[in-house]
Amino acid sequence: MDYTKVLRRVDEVRLELPQDYKDGMRVPGMIYADERLMKYIAEDPSVEQVANVAFLPGIVGHSLAMPDVHWGYGFPIGGVAATDIDEGGVVSPGGVGFDINCGMRLLRSDLTEADVRPLLKDLISTLFRDIHTGTGAGNRLKLEVREVNQVLSQGAEWAVERGLGDPDDLEVTEEGGRIAGAELDAVGERPGARGRSQLGTLGSGNHFLEVQVVDQVFDSNAASVMGVETGQVVVMIHTGSRGLGHQVCTDSLKVIESASKTYGIDLPDRQLASVPVESPEGRRYLGAMRAAANFAWANRQCIAHWARLSFESVFSRSWSDMDMRQVYDVSHNMAKIEEHVVDGRKRRLCVHRKGATRSFPAGHPDVPERYREIGQPVLIPGDMGRYSFLAVGAQGAMEESFGSTCHGAGRAESRTRAKKMLEGRDIRAELEADGIIAMAQGWASLAEEAPMAYKDVEDVVRVADEAGLSRRVARLKPLGVIKG
């Protein structure tokens, strides 16, 4: 279907999907896109998913799609929806996704590209050796059941207390690296079993660790506050809760699909299965989701620690001497209970961010004190051949997207199609010709994530900036990457 015939352009970066597009929509849809991004949206079934999300009981405002939107499970990836808890609002696992608290972490350093370039191949091979990538189990941590439970409860704190990181890391991690309300009983045995050998592992798919250089600064004040400047080498980490989170989502969906019928919830897509937030099933899902989120924060914490040690090994300096401080760790794929002003009054909402990230502005009490004058840092990865972005939250996000913005570039081609289109090409050699060293478990891992498989993240970030959802601070270009 050509969705350009039903979408109404509000301004240069907003498209509205009218509430009367489908009988049963409780709110209109809103898609953030300019004409350059429209070519990806015009016939994408994610637009249909935006409409379906608008059926959720208790939904307020709009069913939102960030500029990196593409088709996903239930919700589109890049979908945001908030439901009013006190008016029958629901929670939907499809609005969180299988990789619970997939997120981004950024470390800065005092190294420059001139320092790193001569040792780049050695650095990337050391990182690839020290940090487990790909599917399956890692080999550095083997947890007992009681230790898995501690991780589910304590999050990144568990790792820091065991010397896997620095206490300052927690100060610049969303929720301090540990969200309250985790329920271990709600997780069950199967997810915990999968998590025993996966803590500190990147996984596969679009997860990565990338060594980057800051090549452009747009906001010198915000960059200075975050300790970022042109020419500096940084490390970006992208991963989540691994098999543990996937199992939590799988197990929860079975319960919620059945329970939704009990509550009389009728939705156009079974993948949107939902229950009231304050139902026993809703509370249990949120408890399990929070536990998985804590695992994800601990996972990124361990990886960051081992990345620092890899740098120490290659450069023969301590990570503190290289000033490899954490800039921030931000989450996507979460449902959070937050207060937002809707229609002139403060309301208690369940905010689903599926492939979207929090974007709180300057002055917000949930922004770490050191960043309160500039807003919450936002990490927006691109692809391994072009660039990623560092941004900060903006007031416009609080006014229209429940404090949310984009979380990445968004796919332009499916993994299957990308591999077919790139068959016979040496992706590793092509990247190296551009000065980028890539190491992965196999050709398919690189082909699935090749630059042509993604939108240009610069277009995505520009739209988010012009819409007032977030503000660009710096552009980061890849030097080397490890993947599953």
Token pair 């509000």 in the structure block, residue? 10
What CATH number is associated with residue 255?
3.90.1860.10
Q: Which pTM does this prediction carry?
A: 0.97
pLDDT at 274: 98
Does 448 have pLDDT greater than 90?
no
Residue range 282-322, pLDDT digits in tens: 999 999 999 999 999 999 999 999 999 999 999 999 999 99
pLDDT at 237: 98
pLDDT at 451: 87
In the chain, % of residues over pLDDT 70: 100
Residue range 123-140, pLDDT digits in tens: 999 999 999 998 877 768
pLDDT at 3: 87
Q: How confident is the model at residue 419 (pLDDT cuts 50, 70, 90)?
A: confident
pLDDT at 389: 98
Average pLDDT over residues 371-388: 97
Pairing of strands 29-32, 59-70: parallel
Least confident of 19-23, 315-319, 442-446: 442-446
pLDDT at 442: 86
Task: Please say if 407 is a catalytic residue.
Answer: yes
pLDDT at 171: 98
Cα three-residue angle 182-185-191, rounded to 5 degrees:
85
Residue range 167-183, pLDDT digits in tens: 999 999 999 999 999 99
Average pLDDT over residues 185-195: 87
Task: Say how many domains are in the chain.
Answer: 1
Cα three-residue angle 451-456-458, rounded to 5 degrees:
135
- Cα–Cα distances in Å, from 335 out to 86, 352, 357, 402? 16, 4, 11, 12
Tokens of 124: 């990337």
Residue range 44-103, pLDDT digits in tens: 999 999 999 999 999 999 999 999 999 999 999 999 999 999 999 999 999 999 999 999
Average pLDDT score, the chain: 95
Structural domain that includes position 445: 3-460+468-483
pLDDT at 37: 96
pLDDT at 443: 87
pLDDT at 407: 97
